[in-house]
Amino acid sequence: MERAPDTGAADRTAVLAEPTVPVTAGWTARLSLATLAVFMAFMTPIQVLLPLQLERIAAQDKNAALSLVTGLGALAAVLANPIAGAWSDRTTGRFGRRRPWILGGALAGAAGLAITAAQHTVTGVALGWCLAQAGLNAMLAGVATPIADQVPLGQRARVSGWTGLMQSFGLVLGALVTTLLVTGVRAGYTVLAVLTVVLALPFVLLHAEPPLPRALRPAFDPRAFARSFWVSPRQHPDFGWAWLSRFLINLGNALGTLYLFYFLADAVHHRDPGTGVLVLTAVYTLCAALTAVPVGALSDRVGRRKGFVVLCSVVMAAAALALALFHTWPAALAAAAVLGGGYGIYLAVDQALVTQVLPKAVDRAKDLGVINIANSGPQVLAPAVAAPVIAHLGGYTGLYAAAALVILLGGLLVGRIRGVD
């Protein structure tokens, strides 16, 4: 079994120390597989399975139904991620702080997917999807934190590039499985549930994580525990600006991707929107792969993060603007390539930047959970924004123009961070 980089440290506080020993390629690969499991499990339903399922249940109100289900699921994610992260920070068992939450979250997420698959009403789908999101976000709390726990600063953008790439690759793999390898919505959910657990096991079983000594776990005070989820932007301004920048970029991305299936069907008039989503996602992922790891390595080499985030926001905004102006299949392909290249930069560099603005080592998972609200929160807000924009402010042209503006603003705000170059 591979040992965590700092297990040999004599000081019992080594578990909270800034990591200095490089992680191995095998460690990165296993963490990437666990990350793949998370994002495959909750991105594929959003992009493929939920639209298909809800179109059969409520064909006349499919947009509203999708907005309701994804919005409620994202709300469950907003709550589950930081709460699970906070309890992960306090976990003192011999299996470490993160692995129990990765495995438990995977099992709960898989159960939620199976329950969602069996539903035949919008309410049932929403309840099942909320359970899936809660479990998967508990798992995400476990897989997002080892980079801050274990990876030295000089490796962080490269490792973040690999794990970040799994976000896009998860959707490609999930779309392949649910559109080409299995037939039927229920079978798609079932296969995703199984893969979620299977892909989490290598990291859970082969990574020996140092446990948190009980002496370092603070006494539980419900009020203090609740207050800990508020990270004051006055006291920690870099954390606040990083959160807001991520929120806006992810809001723009959510506005642009939430209705992609319907955009292809209703505006581009693609004859097979499901396959179209798969093709666009494959192009997007390939271009993200071409930028994520190389730019992550470059960021580590030069020791700079903010300029790369600004660059990616400009590139992503240009792609969204192209979708606003041109509702054709070639334009969609070109936009997917540009968007993927920009998002690949973002996945690698922004995650590394965020790990450098966390307030306290003892609260890494909780604070990353708060940061991850900037990932899940836009999924709650995007449906509320997108539906009236499509209906009253220019349809898909207005939607993608709004996405471009929000993404660009998010990139520019990263310049307010002072403690990171």
The DSSP-derived string for 299-351 is HHHHT--HHHHHHHHHHHHHHHHHHHH--SHHHHHHHHHHHHHHHHHHHHHHH
Q: What is the average per-residue pLDDT within 302-331?
A: 92
| Structural domain includes residue 328 | yes
pLDDT of residue 217: 81
The stretch 294-318 carries a mean pLDDT of 91
d(CA 288, CA 215): 43
Query: What angle is formed at CA 51 by the lines to CA 50 and CA 53, rounded to 5 degrees?
Result: 60
Query: Are 288 and 344 spatial neighbours (Cβ–Cβ below 8 Å)?
Result: yes
Report the pLDDT value the prediction gives residue 13, as an integer from 0 to 100. 56
Residue 1 domain flag: no
Query: What CATH code is carried by the domain that includes residue 145?
Result: 1.20.1250.20
Mean pLDDT of 163-171: 83
- In-domain check, residue 39: yes
In a domain, 207, yes or no: yes
For all residues of the chain together, what is the average pLDDT? 88
In a domain, 53, yes or no: yes
Q: How confident is the model at residue 154 (pLDDT cuts 50, 70, 90)?
A: confident
When pLDDT is cut at 50, 70 and 90, the band that residue 416 belongs to is very high
Q: What is the mean pLDDT of residues 366-374?
A: 87
Residue 342 is predicted with a pLDDT of 92
- State yes or no: pLDDT of 2 exceeds 60: no
pLDDT value of position 10: 39
Domain residues for the domain of 366 are 9-214+223-416
Report for 90-99, 204-213, 317-326, 374-383: range of highest mean pLDDT: 317-326
Mean pLDDT, rounded, for 344-357: 88
Which among 178-192, 269-283, 324-338 has the top mean pLDDT? 324-338
pLDDT attached to residue 406: 94
DSSP string spanning 255-267?
HHHTTHHHHIIII
Handedness of CA 192, 195, 200, 201 (dihedral sign): positive
Distance CA 36, CA 163 (A): 8
Whether 130 is in a domain gets the answer yes
Indicate whether 7 pLDDT > 70: no
For the chain, the domain total comes to 1
Residue 8 has pLDDT above 80, yes or no: no
Residue 6: the pLDDT is 42
Please give the Cα distance from 18 to 70 (Å, whole number). 37
The confidence score (pLDDT) of residue 122 equals 94
Q: Which two tokens stand for residue 104?
A: 């438990």
d(Cα 240, Cα 263) in Å, to the nearest integer? 34
Type of residue found at 388:
P
Res 3: pLDDT? 45
| DSSP labels, 149-203 | HH--GGGHHHHHHHHHHHHHHHHHHHHHIIIIIS-SHHHHHHHHHHHHHHHHHHH
pLDDT at 11 over 60: no
Q: Is 42 within the bounds of a domain?
A: yes
The answer to whether residue 167 is domain-embedded is yes
